[in-house]
């Protein structure tokens, strides 16, 4: 755990500053947002230096999210590519280039970087909790450990389709 300095605006628009202990800046932003505060800047506490505006963190948290349909398409494509025996990094690079959703494409490119640095796919996905849910990551982890990653992607497709149908029913009720 590290210390992070932050600047936020409250509901009245007043500027506030503080320090929070968390595992990463995304955890700090999530906690602040859950508290009804709007993050302006978040950065690790350094021995010296003033707090600087970290626009990259703020942009990441206020971008459009990845909708469930895009995740279903991504999972179906990953099922097909892993089933065909295409190397993971090559498959992900191809999907990043062809994905319409900018946030998903950027996330896939980050997955490639993490894989190239030696991380497993599940651990790489765990770095993007706003995109990949805990169950998504858990199923990928099981698939990697069992040697049946393609089947895990198909299970994710079924799970996401069920979730999409449930959301539709709730909206129409």
- CATH code of 148's domain: 1.20.81.30
Looking at the structure, tell me whether residues 168 and 85 fall in a common domain.
Answer: yes
Looking at the structure, tell me whether residues 33 and 13 fall in a common domain.
Answer: yes
Burial of residue 51 (number of CB atoms within 10 Å: 0-12, 13-18, 19+): middle
Looking at the structure, tell me whether residues 83 and 153 fall in a common domain.
Answer: yes
**CB-CB contact of 89 with 118 (8 Å):** no
Cα dihedral across residues 21, 24, 29, 35: positive or negative: negative
pLDDT classification of 53: cutoffs 50, 70, 90: very low
Looking at the structure, tell me whether residues 43 and 20 fall in a common domain.
Answer: yes
Higher pLDDT, 1 or 11: 11
Q: What is the total count of domains within the chain?
A: 2
Looking at the structure, tell me whether residues 73 and 152 fall in a common domain.
Answer: yes
Cα dihedral across residues 83, 142, 26, 65: positive or negative: positive
pLDDT classification of 55: cutoffs 50, 70, 90: low
Q: Which DSSP string corresponds to 28-54?
A: HHHHHHHTT-EEEEEEE--SS------
pLDDT value for 71: 96
Looking at the structure, tell me whether residues 75 and 131 fall in a common domain.
Answer: yes
Looking at the structure, tell me whether residues 58 and 96 fall in a common domain.
Answer: no
pLDDT value for 51: 43
Looking at the structure, tell me whether residues 122 and 91 fall in a common domain.
Answer: yes
Q: Which of 7, 45, 3, 6 is nearest to 23 (CA)?
A: 3
**CB-CB contact of 20 with 28 (8 Å):** yes
Kindly report the backbone phi and psi dihedral angles of residue 41, in degrees, each rounded to the nearest multiple of 5, phi listed first: -150, 140
Whether the full predicted model's pTM is greater than 0.85, yes or no, is no
Arithmetic mean of pLDDT, 102-126: 95
pLDDT classification of 61: cutoffs 50, 70, 90: low
CA distance 68 to 62: 18
Residue range of the domain that includes 13: 2-62
DSSP secondary structure letter of residue 75: H
**For the ranges 1-5, 33-37, 66-70, 165-169, which has the lowest average pLDDT?**
1-5
CATH number at residue 22: 3.10.20
Looking at the structure, tell me whether residues 57 and 79 fall in a common domain.
Answer: no
Looking at the structure, tell me whether residues 73 and 155 fall in a common domain.
Answer: yes
Whole-number average pLDDT of the chain: 87
Looking at the structure, tell me whether residues 132 and 100 fall in a common domain.
Answer: yes
**For the ranges 19-33, 53-67, 72-86, 126-140, which has the lowest average pLDDT?**
53-67
Looking at the structure, tell me whether residues 85 and 152 fall in a common domain.
Answer: yes
Domain boundary among 32, 62, 92: 62
């Amino acid at each position: 755990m590290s210390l992070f300095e932050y600047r936020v605006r409250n509901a009245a628009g007043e500027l506030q500053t503080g320090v929070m202990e968390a595992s990463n800046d995304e955890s700090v932003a999530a906690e602040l947002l859950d508290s009804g505060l709007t993050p302006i800047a978040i950065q690790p506490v350094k021995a010296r230096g003033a707090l600087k505006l970290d626009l990259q963190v703020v942009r990441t948290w206020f971008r459009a999210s990845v909708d469930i349909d895009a995740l279903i398409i991504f999972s179906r494509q990953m099922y097909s590519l892993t089933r065909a025996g295409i190397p993971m990094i090559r498959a992900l690079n191809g999907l990043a280039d062809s994905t319409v959703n900018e946030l998903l494409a950027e996330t896939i490119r980050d997955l490639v970087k993490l894989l190239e640095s030696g991380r497993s796919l599940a651990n790489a996905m765990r770095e993007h909790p706003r995109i990949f849910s805990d169950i998504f990551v858990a199923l990928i982890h099981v698939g990697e450990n069992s040697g049946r990653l393609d089947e895990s992607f198909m299970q994710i497709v079924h799970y996401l389709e069920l979730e999409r149908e449930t959301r539709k029913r709730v909206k129409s009720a």
